A and B are shown apart, each in its own frame.
Chain A
Amino acid sequence: MIKKLCCILGVAGLLFSVAACGKKTADTGDTYSGKKVKAGFIYVGPIGDFGWTYAHEISRKELIAKYPWLETIYVENIPEGDSDRVIDRLVNEEKCDIIFATSFGYMDSTINAGKKYPDKIFMHCAGYKREKNVGTYFAELYQAYYLNGLMAGALSKTDRIGYVAAHPIPEVIRHINAFAIGVKEVNPSAKVYVKWLFSWYDPAKAREAAESLIAQGCDTLAFEEDSVAVIEVGQSHTFKGHQIYTFSHYSPMQKFGPDSVVSGQLVNWTGMYDYILNNVNEGKWTNEDMWWRLKEKAVALGGEHGEQINKKFVPVLQNLKIKNKDFGNISVYDLVMKRLKQMEQGPDVFDPFTGPVKDQKGIVRIKTGNCADHDMLWTMDWFAENVEGKLPESGK
């Protein structure tokens, strides 16, 4: 009897969880009668996560409003092991012309699907494998992280800067290193302390990690995780009279820490999706590797749209004067703006990963005068010399 009950309950629970995830919505431009492009979006998280998936979803909505020839469908909360089934469904039943697989973990399924459906187009976000009909695209944040590092290094009074990090994969390591390189440029004695969460979205863990960094003397925090937890921790300490500087990540989070958020990085996928979908519509699509940075405006500096640095901290940064190897005596504010302008012109004008860059053991990883190339940035598995903490051995 008990066994039977357990069985029934188990099945009911399973059905429940299946029903709960994978909601679908179709948006159609009803009045348009010409040739249409149907795009399917596969999301790893919920569209309301205020981070990664939310950012993609905003762009999807902007584009359906913009183009009458565009029809889209999205599927959210798709675990990375479950994407084959969803791709099949989007191709066979929903008849999508192009599918956007928006998580690194969908890589192999997307490549396989590309082979299985050679007449469809696939775009995989954040991956490095391509096929004739599978391209890749990514909005890269490391330059903005570097700019945040400049401000963090200058503002920190304890010379301890905390970093709450999601997973030890090259993307995150690259961001930590860019941030640390920025810190070192203005404050060679400051160290960056890293704590790992092993989760992309977990406000409880992020909060506890941020608190532990503050407990260990950090007064400035940056992070790469999709909730506003770190910002809230910074704001609550600042509210209690202990100033903590934080840097927002991915979405405009400044409103959750108006006295704590100095700046941050903002992503904008709309330009990329616009470009890709227009190419598909005009039959010009190629399987290129799109890697857009500040120059292409896929990324912006700031914790709020249209506000590169929190107005509250602008005078503070203008009064902080440092000596810089390229610009001589300069205020931190001007330095950030100059570097931003340089990087907006392109990575050939200035790139944070310009040698000499040493790792934690003192080994020169990027030689003087050299720049890190694409491959090095995409396979990075070492920490810059001013980062404290060991890199966990296993990846995601």
Chain B
Amino acid sequence: MDEKTFLVQQILVRTFAAGTPLLLGTLGEIYSERSGILNLGIEGMMAAGAVAAFATASVTGSPWCGVVAGIVVGGLLALLHAFATVTLKANQIVSGLALTMLGLGISGLWGKRYVGVPLINKILPVRLPVLSNIPILGNAVFNQDLLFYGSVVLGVIMWFILYKTKVGIIIRSVGENPEAADSLGISVWKVRYVCVITGGIFAGMAGSYLSLVYISSWVEGMTGGRGWIVIALTVFSLWNPKRAFLGAYVFGGIYVLQYILQSYGVSPNLLLMLPYIATLAALLAAVKFSKKKRISPPLSLGVPFDRGR
């Protein structure tokens, strides 16, 4: 393999790894927002999921127990948000921001003793037969860990459910017009609870991927704004899981390029801003796209549903 091919291959390997937590987070947030609930607490759920996963993996010695713990903690935090916004009809922005602070706080406190502790049992890559022999892509896509494969499969399933099944229609209708859905006998609060908790589960999974695979250690603040990028990516994806793939991997690539480009004389200080500049650019692009394609956010996004009204 010559140098250029190797470089491209390695960039792709890292791009997919760096994009996976973003993909998982975005898939979850799409479901939450599709049902009409904005959840700005992704950063907090991700951080809490990350520390739960790391702590559990360290104590039990099994990274898979860690993943389960991350999912449970993410889901529980989302349950709080669902309770506040669906049952109590609280302001979704405030509740989401509170969730972020809560999650970051819990993770900092809980994770204190795990700072700097290396992970002993890791989730190792699994080489898929035949497929991994494809030049470049074989190593980049088919020689990754099971969580990565899982995230891709989940993405496809999530897209299928949302666009090809009756469940998907129900979720979308609840997000667009909960009154109409309600009059057809759909339980709006149930759908919203399920979708918000799904969002939390995915954010928890994203956190587990960060602490168990991508970084394989815990450090306070390691989500590094990824939760906010996920919210931007949800807008960028126009609430469609298919486009979430594109957004997540493009942003994954940006994280990787930060260090590749240092060798070409670009100031490292400038490069550290890249993901955030790209976030702004992605949001602008999304606005333009949604106008062109006449796609708008779910109509009742952020609006509490009051049955008696």
Q: Does A105 contact B (CB under 8 A)?
A: no
Q: How far is the CA of A211 from the CA of B262 in the complex (A)?
A: 13
Greatest chain A CB density within 10 A among B219, B222, B259, B265 is at: B259
Measured between beta carbons, the chain B residues less than 8 angstroms from A13 are: 101, 105
Q: How far is the CA of A240 from the CA of B138 in the complex (A)?
A: 14
Q: How far is the CA of A232 from the CA of B18 in the complex (A)?
A: 16
Measured between beta carbons, the chain A residues less than 8 angstroms from B62 are: none
Select from chain A the residue with minimum beta-carbon distance to B267: A392
A229 in contact with B217 given A48-B116, A211-B14, A216-B7 (CB within 8 Å):
yes
Select from chain B the residue with minimum beta-carbon distance to A256: B118
Interface pair A207/B215, CB less than 8 Å apart: yes
Contact partner of A203 (CB less than 8 A), chosen from B93, B105, B215, B260, is B215
Q: How far is the CA of A394 from the CA of B272 in the complex (A)?
A: 14
Q: How far is the CA of A48 from the CA of B214 in the complex (A)?
A: 21
Query: Shortest CB–CB separation between residue B114 and chain A, in angstroms?
Result: 8
Q: Does B143 contact A (CB under 8 A)?
A: yes
Interface pair A198/B109, CB less than 8 Å apart: no
Q: Does A349 contact B (CB under 8 A)?
A: no
Q: Is the interface of B mostly helix, strand, loop or mixed?
A: helix
Q: How far is the CA of A224 from the CA of B115 in the complex (A)?
A: 18
Interface pair B115/A46, CB less than 8 Å apart: yes
Interface pair A208/B256, CB less than 8 Å apart: yes
Binds B, one of A2-10, A177-185, A309-317, A378-386: A2-10
Greatest chain A CB density within 10 A among B94, B143, B216 is at: B216
Query: Shortest CB–CB separation between residue B292 and chain A, in angstroms?
Result: 34
Residues of B in contact, count (CB < 8 Å): 46
Q: Does A217 contact B (CB under 8 A)?
A: yes
Q: Does A50 contact B (CB under 8 A)?
A: yes
Q: Does B125 contact A (CB under 8 A)?
A: yes
Residues of A in contact, count (CB < 8 Å): 47
Interface pair B116/A217, CB less than 8 Å apart: no
Q: Does A214 contact B (CB under 8 A)?
A: yes
Q: How far is the CA of A256 from the CA of B143 in the complex (A)?
A: 22
Query: Shortest CB–CB separation between residue A362 and chain B, in angstroms?
Result: 19
Measured between beta carbons, the chain A residues less than 8 angstroms from B256 are: 208, 211-212
Interface pair A389/B262, CB less than 8 Å apart: yes
A215 in contact with B11 given A6-B94, A54-B116 (CB within 8 Å):
yes
Interface pair B224/A392, CB less than 8 Å apart: no
Query: Shortest CB–CB separation between residue A258 and chain B, in angstroms?
Result: 13
Interface pair A201/B143, CB less than 8 Å apart: no
Q: How far is the CA of A88 from the CA of B224 in the complex (A)?
A: 33
B233-277 interface code vs A (CB 8 A; 1 in, 0 out): 000000000000000000000011011101101011100100000
Q: Does A363 contact B (CB under 8 A)?
A: no
A1-42 interface code vs B (CB 8 A; 1 in, 0 out): 010011001001100110010000000000000000000000
Interface pair B101/A9, CB less than 8 Å apart: yes
Interface pair A204/B224, CB less than 8 Å apart: yes
Measured between beta carbons, the chain B residues less than 8 angstroms from A389 are: 262-263
Interface pair B94/A5, CB less than 8 Å apart: yes
Interface pair B118/A228, CB less than 8 Å apart: yes
Q: Does B89 contact A (CB under 8 A)?
A: no
Q: Does B91 contact A (CB under 8 A)?
A: yes
Q: How far is the CA of A212 from the CA of B253 in the complex (A)?
A: 12
A215 in contact with B260 given A13-B101, A201-B219 (CB within 8 Å):
yes
Q: How far is the CA of A232 from the CA of B216 in the complex (A)?
A: 9
List 17 additional contacts besides A17-B108, A232-B118; criterion CB under 8 Å: A9-B94, A16-B105, A20-B108, A48-B116, A49-B116, A50-B118, A195-B263, A198-B269, A204-B219, A208-B258, A211-B259, A212-B263, A217-B3, A226-B116, A228-B217, A239-B124, A389-B263
Q: Does B181 contact A (CB under 8 A)?
A: no
Measured between beta carbons, the chain B residues less than 8 angstroms from A20 are: 105, 108-109, 112
Q: Does A176 contact B (CB under 8 A)?
A: no
Query: Shortest CB–CB separation between residue B233 and chain A, in angstroms?
Result: 18
Measured between beta carbons, the chain A residues less than 8 angstroms from B118 are: 50, 228, 232, 256
Measured between beta carbons, the chain A residues less than 8 angstroms from B10 are: 211, 214-215
Query: Shortest CB–CB separation between residue B51 and chain A, in angstroms?
Result: 13
Measured between beta carbons, the chain A residues less than 8 angstroms from B94 are: 2, 5-6, 9
Q: Does B303 contact A (CB under 8 A)?
A: no
Q: Does A227 contact B (CB under 8 A)?
A: yes
Measured between beta carbons, the chain A residues less than 8 angstroms from B113 are: 48
Measured between beta carbons, the chain B residues less than 8 angstroms from A12 are: 101
Measured between beta carbons, the chain A residues less than 8 angstroms from B217 are: 203, 227-229
Interface pair B222/A193, CB less than 8 Å apart: no
Q: Does B117 contact A (CB under 8 A)?
A: yes
Measured between beta carbons, the chain B residues less than 8 angstroms from A16 are: 105, 109
Contact partner of B14 (CB less than 8 A), chosen from A49, A54, A215, A227, is A215
Contact partner of B219 (CB less than 8 A), chosen from A202, A213, A217, A239, is A202
Q: Does B186 contact A (CB under 8 A)?
A: no
Interface residues of A in 33-67 (CB under 8 A from B): 46, 48-51, 54
